[in-house]
């Protein structure tokens, strides 16, 4: 037989089943009629003839069934019958069905949406060739476990040809783009030309760098990001080959990258060839390369590469003991994806676990719902069994109903998931936002199907198992009235739901409390009414001259301070909470005077500021004085240190008047005197403890790598339009000066904790969802318990039990389950608390207040869910309850 | 009933194919023709005919079309397909071989051994 004909039969059967059924019926009826006609012709009466025809025909229904089987449609027919029967059942209990479908939709929707994020972030390949073999390099030394690479280290790594197909470096810079339009500060990445073939990316337009384009003379070429090309240049295709002005110099546009290319940061706007001088390539001291990426040779494992790199770092340590920064430096690589997803990992896995809990709760909910239904249907099932339905048939029919619920729930769940992708986008690690997209692709849908199958089995098997235990005789003997039986499985589900929800609620509570702690934490400065903006000038040719740069700052500050409503304004090399991405900024090794010789060299953050900085950010002065205009180039060198630095180097002493110098004690650098001690500022992020830190006056900072570039302005109240005002003001001083990152300081603070806020709110939202689901589930089971006990309660009432007695009895049952659930949940919360300890801030994983509140909340919700059915139980009329027997 | 024989298992298909080979028939017609050509010697339970007919159609040996019967009623007519015709030839041959073999076995006399 051909595949086609059977397919046609099945299709015909699926879509035209009544017709096939009708044709069988018609044909058999025609036979009976003709036979009867013939028999009548032989002298039978009509009635006799019809009877005889039927007898000769044999078992009519049996042959009809055999005909269906011959058509190959019996299983299908059963399935369709089950589906129809199921639909009828589900429609008849519309309320139950709606609750079940919505519950499942929430569970499967949340799970699918989170899986979509996890899949995109951790499983989907990055948009590079064989992205799994790409690694990023780090160096670790005492106090700096994941330091950025120094160019001197990169020089060694790229010679490891046995390990890596290629190694490329990236140095993030900031270039001024001028000509046609307002001056703009660009985040430009200076990269090794081999980066592009190494990653395996091709441009949208034009070409990537040639191998020799990093040599002086040919290195004024640039690749633009798709976003810059569209935004600034209107997507002009003739731009390739033309020149643009970067820092006032002509750069030829070699090409435009694709929309999904952003390396290493999502904010990278253009790429130029890196121009590391031989001198820089010997520098193992300054760790400023933002990214060094390599491609493992086929067959080289991560372990092997790391073992070889460890060997290399040991060799270097022996060869150059003096320059081996801060004790033993050790190189290592990790997968590029791991570097990108490091910060997001814990949070995403936590949320994935949370949605799995939601799914489990949803399944438990639906299972208990179906369980209570199955008890009500025992008579129906017993009858069907008595009429010859096999156990397999009954199971199949119950599973069909469950599967229909699951399909309905999943369909609705897809809608939920699709809707939630919009805000779940915020969960993608910042630097991957252009590289990966959240879509409900085939893999996610396949995951949904698996979820669907598993959940069907989870909640569908419970009523199925129960149905198999039915004692046919007992049930049929009793008729359709209820037997009183404790729904043990249902009680088990209640306990499980309470335990799972409590675990989630505790987790959500801990994250919320962490967020709240962080929120109310003193960052060391006052962010309200402060606006920050960035004017990157340092490397511009025209400001290489220190005096010209000072003059520019002075002119700008003078005018800003003259604006009405401005209380204070100052420049700093970096406002707090910026530069948190890659690691330390401006860390200098130093030697405090009179300190005992220490192993290695100490490193301290330094910031170069103008007078007025502490006033603008309201950083408190503890001792000594602020900088003033007298701290000029010819005055004695001075510094202000933060409390942590004072305490670290001069414990139990007054740091004022103490001296330190940059570099080792023998270095020919001048001594610097401390004139002030200020409060600690959480520079690197609100959740990072303050580091030893110093401030240097900008008039004395000639030659310091750190150059003031960020302007902070404190105003009286919020001044609308201040950003534009400042921009215009800067351009009136220097029309070619780009102004970027104009932002309220409070916004920066919010951004710093945005990911924590999102995580805390999502998890609390999920915990709330769990709570509601559990509440519905408990309510369902308890209602059922009351229905089961109607007869018993009726007798009790008849024997004189008061409504209070009855409520107490029902609540007692609920309380027992609640206590058990809360106990298990607390154990679960203790385990999960330890697992999420890394995501907490200022809160212990077993924070007694949070745990106690969560337990009380859950117990209250659970008892409330029991109270309504208990109240209903008191309304039972003993006479009616007893008569129904 | 003494002169009627239950048909051998597996031979119903052969009978149906043969009956239909003589000209398109509806279900009842197949029954009548088998009765007619066997002169009433072969007894088929009438209902059993239909699952067999459906199976033959599904296996592509018969083709079924709806038409109008002699007394103006809608009826399904069966006819042989090419595959059915081939199958019938094969079945007849193997039946002949079987009958010959069984016949020779049964007609063996003691002295021939």
The per-residue pLDDT for range A228-272, each reduced to its tens digit, is 999 889 889 999 999 999 888 899 999 999 998 988 888 889 999
- Quick check: A1 and B47 CB within 8 A? no
- DSSP, collapsed to helix, strand or coil, labels residue A221 as strand
Average confidence (pLDDT) over B65-69: 79
Which residue of B45, B52, B58 is in closest CB contact with A72? B58
Residue among A1, A31, A59 minimizing CB distance to B28:
A31
Nearest C-alpha neighbor of A776 from the set A102, A110, A111, A113: A102
Query: Which pLDDT does position A582 carry in this prediction?
Result: 35
Contact present, A737 and A489 (Cβ < 8 Å): no
Q: A5: nearest CA in chain B?
A: B58
Which pLDDT score, from 0 to 100, does residue A875 have?
82
Q: Across all residues in chain A, what is the average pLDDT?
A: 84
Rounded alpha-carbon distances, angstroms, from residue A257 to A196, A318, A428, A717? 10, 43, 22, 43
The confidence band for A72, taking pLDDT boundaries of 50, 70 and 90, is: low
pLDDT band at B51 (very low <50, low <70, confident <90, very high): confident
Q: Residue A318 burial (CB < 10 Å; 0-12/13-18/19+)?
A: exposed
Q: What is the 3-state secondary structure (H, E, C) of A539-564?
A: CCHHHCCHHHHHHHHHHHHHHHHHCC
CA dist B29 to A4, A147, B48, B50, B76, Å?
Answer: 29, 93, 14, 12, 10
Closest Cα in chain B, distance from residue A103 (Å)? 45
CA-based nearest residue to A692, from A607, A580, A583, A596: A607
Q: What is the CA radius of gyration of chain A?
A: 38
pLDDT at A584: 44
Predicted local distance difference test score (pLDDT) of residue A561: 93
> What is the DSSP code string of A790-827?
HHHHHHHHHTT--HHHHHHHHHHHHHHHHHHHHHHHHH
- At A653 the pLDDT is 84
Q: What is the pLDDT of residue A75?
A: 67
As a three-state string, the secondary structure of A192-204 is CCCHHHHHCCCCC
**pLDDT at A585 (0 to 100):** 46
Is residue A340 scored above 50 in pLDDT? yes
Burial of A103 (0-12, 13-18, 19+ CB in 10 A): buried
User: Does B47 contact A72 at a Cβ distance shorter than 8 Å?
Assistant: no
The residues with which A185 forms a beta bridge, in sequence order, are: A176
Read off the tokens for A173.
């810079």
Nearest CB to B76 within list A1, A27, A56: A27
33-72 of B, contacting A, C-beta below 8 A: 45-52, 54-55, 58-60, 69, 71
The radius of gyration computed from the CA coordinates of chain B, to the nearest angstrom, equals 17
Which residues on chain A are in Cβ contact (under 8 Å) with B48? 58, 63
Q: What angle do CA A384, A389, A394 make, to 5 degrees?
A: 80
Contact B45 A30 (CB under 8 A): no
Has residue A476 got a pLDDT over 80? no
pLDDT for A552 equals: 85
Q: Say whether residue B23 is in contact with chain A using an 8 A CB cutoff.
A: no
Of A307, A259, A261, which Cα lies nearest the Cα of A131? A261
Residue that is written with structure tokens 């809707």 in the block: A419
**What 3-state DSSP class applies to A659?**
strand
What mean pLDDT comes out for the span A207-222? 82
Instruction: State mean pLDDT over A217-226.
Output: 88
Q: Is the dihedral of CA B45, B47, B51, B52 positive or negative?
A: positive
Subunit contact B50:A67, Cβ cutoff 8 A: yes
Burial class (CB in 10 A: 0-12, 13-18, 19+), A44: middle
The answer to whether the peptide bond before residue A676 is cis (omega within 30 degrees of 0) is: no
> Which residue in chain B has the smallest CA separation from A52?
B46
How close does chain B come to A63, measured CA to CA in Å?
6
Q: How far apart are CA A220 and CA A246, in angstroms?
A: 9
Q: Mean pLDDT, to the nearest integer, of A217-223?
A: 85
Point out the residue among B50, B59, B73 whose CB comes nearest to the CB of A28: B50
Confidence of residue A540 (pLDDT cuts 50, 70, 90): very low
**In percent, how much of chain A has pLDDT > 90?**
26
**Which of B44, B50, B61, B81 to probe the A interface (max A CBs under 10 A)?**
B50
**pLDDT tens string A546-595:** 788 888 888 999 999 999 889 999 998 888 887 643 334 455 667 777 65
**Least CB–CB distance from A58: residue in B45, B69, B76:** B45
Supply the ipTM of this predicted assembly: 0.84
Nearest to A2 among B27, B60, B71 (CB): B60
* Segment (H or E) for A870: helix A848-874
The shortest C-alpha distance from A1 to chain B (Å) reads 4
pLDDT value of position A602 = 64
Sequence-ordered list of residues with C-beta below 8 angstroms from that of A66, at least 6 positions apart, any chain: B50, B51
Of the candidates B28, B51, B76, the beta carbon closest to that of A34 is on B28
Confidence of residue A380 (pLDDT cuts 50, 70, 90): confident
DSSP one-letter string for A580-629:
-SSS-SSEEEEEETTPPP-SS-EEEEEEEE-TTHHHHHTPPEEEE----T
Tally of CB atoms within 10 A around A604 = 24
Q: For chain A, positions 10-69, list CB contacts with chain B under 8 A.
A: 23-24, 26-28, 30-31, 33-35, 37, 56-60, 62-63, 66-67, 69
| pLDDT at position A594 | 65
CA distance A251 to A221: 5
Angle at A819 between CA A815 and CA A823, to 5 degrees: 170
Query: Are residues A642 and A613 in contact, defined by beta-carbon separation less than 8 angstroms?
Result: no
B27 min Cα distance to partner chain A (Å): 7
Nearest partner of A371 among A466, A457, A453, judged by Cα: A466
Residues of B in contact with A2 (CB under 8 A): 60
Whole-angstrom Cα distance, residue A410 to residue A674? Answer: 67
Angstrom distance (rounded) from CA A156 to CA A289: 14
Contact B46 A28 (CB under 8 A): no
Least confident of A276-290, A643-657, A803-817: A276-290
| pLDDT reading at A1 higher than 50 | no
**pTM greater than 0.80 (yes/no):** no
Note whether B50 contacts A26, CB cutoff 8 Å: no
Here the contacts of A164-167 (C-beta below 8 Å, separation 24 or greater) are A164/A294, A164/A295, A164/A296, A164/A297, A164/A300, A164/A305, A165/A198, A165/A294, A165/A295, A165/A296, A165/A297, A166/A194, A166/A197, A166/A198, A166/A294, A166/A295, A167/A137, A167/A192, A167/A198, A167/A292, A167/A293, A167/A294
List the structure tokens of A519.
């929120």
Q: A57 and B26 in contact by Cβ < 8 A? A: no
**Cα distance between residue A154 and residue A138, in whole Å:** 10
- In chain A, pLDDT over 70 holds for what percent of residues? 89
User: What pLDDT, on a 0 to 100 scale, did the predictor assign at position A579?
Assistant: 61
Residue B2: the pLDDT is 43
Chosen from B12, B54, B68 to mutate, greatest number of chain A CBs within 10 A: B54
Q: Which residues of A touch B52 (CB under 8 A)?
A: 70
Q: Do B75 and A6 touch (CB under 8 A)?
A: no
Pull the structure tokens for residue A210. 């040639």
B1 — pLDDT class (breaks 50, 70, 90): very low
Give the per-residue pLDDT at B21. Answer: 87
């Amino acid at each position: 037989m051909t595949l086609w004909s059977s397919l046609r039969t099945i299709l015909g059967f699926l879509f035209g089943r009544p017709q096939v059924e009708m044709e069988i019926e018609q044909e058999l009826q025609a036979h009976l009629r003709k036979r009867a006609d013939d028999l009548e012709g032989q002298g039978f009466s009509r009635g006799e003839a019809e009877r005889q025809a039927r007898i000769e025909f044999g078992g009519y229904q049996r042959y009809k069934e055999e005909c269906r089987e011959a058509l190959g449609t019996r299983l299908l027919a059963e399935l369709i019958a089950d589906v129809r029967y199921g639909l009828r059942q589900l429609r008849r209990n519309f309320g139950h069905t709606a609750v079940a479908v919505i519950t499942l939709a929430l569970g499967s929707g949340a799970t699918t949406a989170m899986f979509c994020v996890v899949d995109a972030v951790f499983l989907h390949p990055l948009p590079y060739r064989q992205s799994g073999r790409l690694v990023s390099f780090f160096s670790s030394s005492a106090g700096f476990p994941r330091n950025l690479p120094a160019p001197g280290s990169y020089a060694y790594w790229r010679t490891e040809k046995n390990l890596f197909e290629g190694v490329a470096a990236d140095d993030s810079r900031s270039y001024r783009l001028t000509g046609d339009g307002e001056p703009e500060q660009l985040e430009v990445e200076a990269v090794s030309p081999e980066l592009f073939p190494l990653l395996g990316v091709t441009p949208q337009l034009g070409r990537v760098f040639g191998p020799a384009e990093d040599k002086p003379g040919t290195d004024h070429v640039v690749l633009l990001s798709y976003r810059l090309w569209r935004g600034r240049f209107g997507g002009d295709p003739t731009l390739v080959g033309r020149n643009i002005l970067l820092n006032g110099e002509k750069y030829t546009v070699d090409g435009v990258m694709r929309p999904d290319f952003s390396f290493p940061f999502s904010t990278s706007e253009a790429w130029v060839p890196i121009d590391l001088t031989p001198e820089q390539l010997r520098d193992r001291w300054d760790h400023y390369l933002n990214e060094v990426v390599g491609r493992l040779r086929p067959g080289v494992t991560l372990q092997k590469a790391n073992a070889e790199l460890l060997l290399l770092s040991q060799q270097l340590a022996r060869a150059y003991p003096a320059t081996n920064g801060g004790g033993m430096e050790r190189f290592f690589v990790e997968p590029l994806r791991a570097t990108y997803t490091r910060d997001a990992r814990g949070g995403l896995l936590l949320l994935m676990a949370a949605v799995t809990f939601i799914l489990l709760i949803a399944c438990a909910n639906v299972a208990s719902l179906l369980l209570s239904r199955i008890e009500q249907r025992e008579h129906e099932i017993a009858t069907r069994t008595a009429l010859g339905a096999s156990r397999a048939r009954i199971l199949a029919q119950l599973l069909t109903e469950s599967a229909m619920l699951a399909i309905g729930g999943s369909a609705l769940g897809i809608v939920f998931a699709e809707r939630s992708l919009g805000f779940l986008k915020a969960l993608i690690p910042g630097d991957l936002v252009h590289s990966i997209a959240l879509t409900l692709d085939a893999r996610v849908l396949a995951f949904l199907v698996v979820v669907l199958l598993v959940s069907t089995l989870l909640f569908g098997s419970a009523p199925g198992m129960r149905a198999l235990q039915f004692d046919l005789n007992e049930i049929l003997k009793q008729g359709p009235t209820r037997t009183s039986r404790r729904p043990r499985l249902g009680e088990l589900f209640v306990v499980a739901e309470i335990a799972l929800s409590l675990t989630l609620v505790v987790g959500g509570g801990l994250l919320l409390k962490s967020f709240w702690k962080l929120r109310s934490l003193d960052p060391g400065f006052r962010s309200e009414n402060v606006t920050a903006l960035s004017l990157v000038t340092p490397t511009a040719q025209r400001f290489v001259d220190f005096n010209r740069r000072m003059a520019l700052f002075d002119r700008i500050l003078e005018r800003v301070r003259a604006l009405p409503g401005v209380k204070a304004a100052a420049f700093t090399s970096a406002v707090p909470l910026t530069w948190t991405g890659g690691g330390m900024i401006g860390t200098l090794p130093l030697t405090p005077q009179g300190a005992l010789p220490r192993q290695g060299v100490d490193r301290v953050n330094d910031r170069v500021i103008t007078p007025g900085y502490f006033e603008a950010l309201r950083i408190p002065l503890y001792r000594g004085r602020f900088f003033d205009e007298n701290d000029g180039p010819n005055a004695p060198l001075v510094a202000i240190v933060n409390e942590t630095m004072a305490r670290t180097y001069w414990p139990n002493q007054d740091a004022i008047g103490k001296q330190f110098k940059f570099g080792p004690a023998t270095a020919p650098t001048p001594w610097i005197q401390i004139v002030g001690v200020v409060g600690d500022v959480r520079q690197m992020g609100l959740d990072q403890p303050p580091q030893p830190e110093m401030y240097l006056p900008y008039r004395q900072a000639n030659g310091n790598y750190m150059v003031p570039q960020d302007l902070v302005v404190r105003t009286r109240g919020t001044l609308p339009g201040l950003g534009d005002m400042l921009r215009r003001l800067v351009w009136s001083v220097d029309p070619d000066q780009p102004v970027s990152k104009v932002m309220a300081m409070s916004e920066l603070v919010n951004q710093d904790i945005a990911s924590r806020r999102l995580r805390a709110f999502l998890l609390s939202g999920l915990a709330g969802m769990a709570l509601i689901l559990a509440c519905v589930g408990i309510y369902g089971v308890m209602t059922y318990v009351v229905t089961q006990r109607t007869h018993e309660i009726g007798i009790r009432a008849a024997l004189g039990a008061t409504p209070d007695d009855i409520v107490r009895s029902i609540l007692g049952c609920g309380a027992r389950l609640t206590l058990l659930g809360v106990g298990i949940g607390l154990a679960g919360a203790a385990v999960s608390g330890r697992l999420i300890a890394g995501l907490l801030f200022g809160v212990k994983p077993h924070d007694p207040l949070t745990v106690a509140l969560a337990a009380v909340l859950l117990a209250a919700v659970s008892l409330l869910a029991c109270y309504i059915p208990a109240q209903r139980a008191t309304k039972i009329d003993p006479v009616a309850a007893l008569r129904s027997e | 009933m003494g002169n009627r024989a239950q048909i051998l298992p597996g031979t119903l298909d052969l009978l149906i194919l043969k009956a239909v080979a003589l000209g398109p028939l509806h279900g009842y017609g197949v029954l009548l023709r088998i009765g007619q050509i066997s002169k009433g010697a072969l007894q088929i339970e009438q209902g059993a005919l239909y699952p067999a007919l459906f199976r033959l159609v599904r296996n592509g040996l018969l083709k079924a079309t709806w038409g109008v019967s002699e007394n103006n009623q809608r009826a399904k007519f069966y006819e042989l397909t090419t595959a059915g015709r081939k199958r019938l030839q094969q079945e007849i041959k193997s039946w002949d071989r079987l009958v010959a073999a069984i016949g020779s076995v049964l007609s063996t006399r003691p002295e021939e051994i």
